[in-house]
Chains A and B, each alone.
Chain A
Amino acid sequence: MENNFFGEETAIILGLGELRVGKCPMGTIGLGSCIALILHDQRRSLAGLAHIMLPESRGEVDRPGKFADTAIDALLGEMGRAGSTKSSITAIVVGGASMFEFSANSLNIGERNAVAVKGLLQEQGIRIEHEETGGKVGRSVYYWPEEKGRLIIKRADGTCAAL
């Protein structure tokens, strides 16, 4: 299990603030307080993934993937143009950990990120199929959009979850 992430297929790795819609395998490495938001359209084997860094864009538009509000709009827009309808899209939300101990300050922004993403999904009426947020560990996420979609979450403590 440990090493076949990169071995079996080459996923496109999305960096901080990037987003992508497509049929190819996608992933993010080392999610801390950030959120990996995956929107999946089973009928079209199409998925969108965003590596969201902060909850609110406050008017910034140049990197839609960076903020929860702009990322969801951009993903839905792009998937809509590919033929998806809101009713056929489900969501997976991973990340939003609080990485630091001995710190009461703003470094632990993960929780706010998770709340923002989930609130926005609810506003849009998109069902959350799977969620793994909060906690204290970093995570890597890999997603294969074909058919029902396949998700692997690898946690920093060495455990894995496959779906």
Chain B
Amino acid sequence: MELDPFQKDALAELGNIGAAHAATSLSQMLMSPIEMTVPEVQAIDIADLHKYISNEITAMVVFQIQGEIADGGYVVVSMPRETVIQLTNQMLGTVDADLDREINEMDQSAAIEIGNIMISAFLDATAELLGIVMLPSPPALAIDMAHAAFESVVAQVASDVNDVLIFNTELTSEAPPVYGSIYMLPNTELTQQLFLMLERMMEPLS
């Protein structure tokens, strides 16, 4: 799949709006400013995935896209484990200097909650722009090698195609020092639909 510059721009803009809403909700929750990068949109060949996704231990919160488009693909929030511990501390108001400690149940809940809040905002905003309904499924969580968790998601969307469309935005905050990324992996049908809807939106008014 080759993206032409127009498609790339339109998809990046879509991701931008979604990620901006996700960043706002994260910022409100943490009561701290959040910086975000301009979203990158790439069509990645599945064989090259390991060049883009690290092998570090990462918390991945995964949601299936539901709603008007059934099984439309997945949205993923990924955070390094130190970030998860920072967020738990922030949410509970505890001070925990040991960022190397084992991940516990409270951390898992915190990761899922953060994921929920961010992804609800992300999908709401993108769906509103497109004029459709997109809802997140209940979250699934893996705290493991990022690539190992990611390929399980890719296996679901790439059974009959050899590349996946990946939206990636990084969100960072300095106090508390947290860092995370949002990925969106639309399946083949949703990808086609996205292109159609975006094309229609870009048509000049007559």
Contact = CB atoms under 8 A, between A and B. Distances in A.
Interface of A: 13-18, 29-34, 53-54, 60, 62-63, 66, 97, 99-103, 105-110, 136-140, 156
A99 B78 CA distance: 14
A110 B47 contact: no
A107 B156 contact: yes
Interface of B: 45-51, 53, 55, 57, 62, 64, 108, 112, 137-142, 144-156, 158-160, 162
Contacts of A137: 144, 148
Nearest to A28: B50
Contact of B147 (A18, A32, A60, A106): A32
Nearest to B149: A99
A133 B158 CA distance: 22
A116 B146 CA distance: 25
B148 A97 contact: yes
Contacts of A102: 112, 138-141
B156 A109 contact: yes
Contacts, number: 116
B117 to A, nearest CB: 16
Contacts of A13: 50
A16 B163 CA distance: 11
Given A101-B142, A138-B148, A140-B145, A107 B48 contact: no
Contacts of A103: 62, 140-141
Nearest to A52: B155
B206 to A, nearest CB: 42
Contact of A32 (B57, B139, B145, B159): B145
The 6 A-B residue pairs whose C-beta atoms are closest, nearest first, are A138-B148, A30-B147, A103-B140, A32-B148, A15-B47, A138-B145
B149 A101 contact: no
A115 to B, nearest CB: 15
Contacts of B147: 29-30, 32, 138
A54 B155 contact: yes
A11 to B, nearest CB: 12
Contacts of A138: 144-145, 147-149
Nearest to B54: A30
Given A107-B62, A140-B145, A30 B55 contact: yes
B66 to A, nearest CB: 11
B162 A100 contact: no
A32 B47 contact: no
B160 A60 contact: yes
B148 A139 contact: yes
B159 A63 contact: no
B199 to A, nearest CB: 28
A32 B149 contact: yes
A99 B155 contact: no
A16 B152 contact: no
Contacts of B51: 15
A108 B150 CA distance: 12
Contact of B62 (A18, A60, A100): A100
